Amino acid sequence: MSHPLSTLSHIFFFFFFFFALTYDHRVLDGREAVTFLVKVRDYIEDPRKMLLA
């Protein structure tokens, strides 16, 4: 999915996607789930981080 982003003199299109996680609250706390999603987001934004991890 792409959305336009405009500045004073240019129009840019940027792409994004939604990523969701379903988990059982009885087994996993929300903090761990959010931490996992943040790591996934970071790896998608900069795959070189996977090599350094």
The CB density around residue 44, as the number of other CB atoms within 10 Å, is: 12
Which sequence positions are flagged as catalytic? 25, 29
Q: Which phi and psi (to 5°) does residue 12 adopt?
A: -115, 150
Give the CA angle between residues 22, 13, 35 to the nearest 5°.
25
